[in-house]
Amino acid sequence: MTTEIIVNPNTFTFQAKRIFHAPLALVWRAYTEPALLDQWWAPKPWKAETQSMDFTPGGKWIYDMVGPNGERHGAMQIFKEIVFEKYFSGIDAFVDEHGKINESMPVATWKNTFEAVGDQTLVTVYAQYPNKESLEFVIKMGMDKGVSMAHDNLSELLNKIK
């Protein structure tokens, strides 16, 4: 299974869809529990390290993407809405070493949806950027490849733990 990526430069949106061969409850846990997120979120050879996570409306997930040579890039998701095992949405941003949003980098509004399809789960990741330049910036950074690679990691993890 591969991740379907749809980039729309006219609406400044990025969408990724993938069906995982695992039950919805397990896929939801993999997206919402730091111990599981850290095992798949980053594309190899990078890894994710959670600094803190409060998975509640208004809460934050602050984490670092850690490279193979120890380089770190901070990021944060601020949760706006959470509907258990249906979707969660919010803001996604790069942060500095103090967890403060880096205003010189793109900030996206996003929504992750989860849908049971028999004994599998369809995940749709939807992100909207404020302008075409911000969307182009993250695509040039390799967001499409990174999300696909992270989804491959998630698929491997789900196969191990289901």
What's the pLDDT tens digit per position in 105-138? 999 999 999 999 999 999 999 999 999 999 999 9
- Which tens digit of pLDDT belongs to each residue from 1-35? 799 999 999 999 999 999 999 999 999 999 999 99
Domains in the chain, CATH or no CATH each: 4-161 (3.30.530.20)
Any residues with CB less than 8 A from the CB of 125 and at least 6 apart, and which? 14, 15, 16, 17, 110, 112, 147
- Which tens digit of pLDDT belongs to each residue from 144-157? 999 999 999 999 99
Q: What pLDDT is attached to residue 151? A: 97
Mean pLDDT of 60-78: 96
Model confidence at 160: pLDDT above 90 = yes
Q: How far apart are CA 87 and CA 123, in angstroms?
A: 9
Q: What pLDDT is attached to residue 98? A: 86
Q: What pLDDT is attached to residue 16? A: 98
User: Which neighbouring-strand residues pair with 24?
Assistant: none
Instruction: Record the pTM.
Output: 0.95
Phi, psi (degrees; rounded to nearest 5) at 8: -120, 100
Q: How far apart are CA 37 and CA 31, in angstroms?
A: 6
Model confidence at 99: pLDDT above 90 = no
Nearest to 123 by CA among 154, 149, 99: 154
Please give the distance of CA 14 from its chain centroid, rounded to a whole number: 12
Q: What pLDDT is attached to residue 162? A: 80
Q: What pLDDT is attached to residue 93? A: 97
Instruction: Find the distance separating the first CA and the last CA of the chain, reported in whole Å.
Output: 17
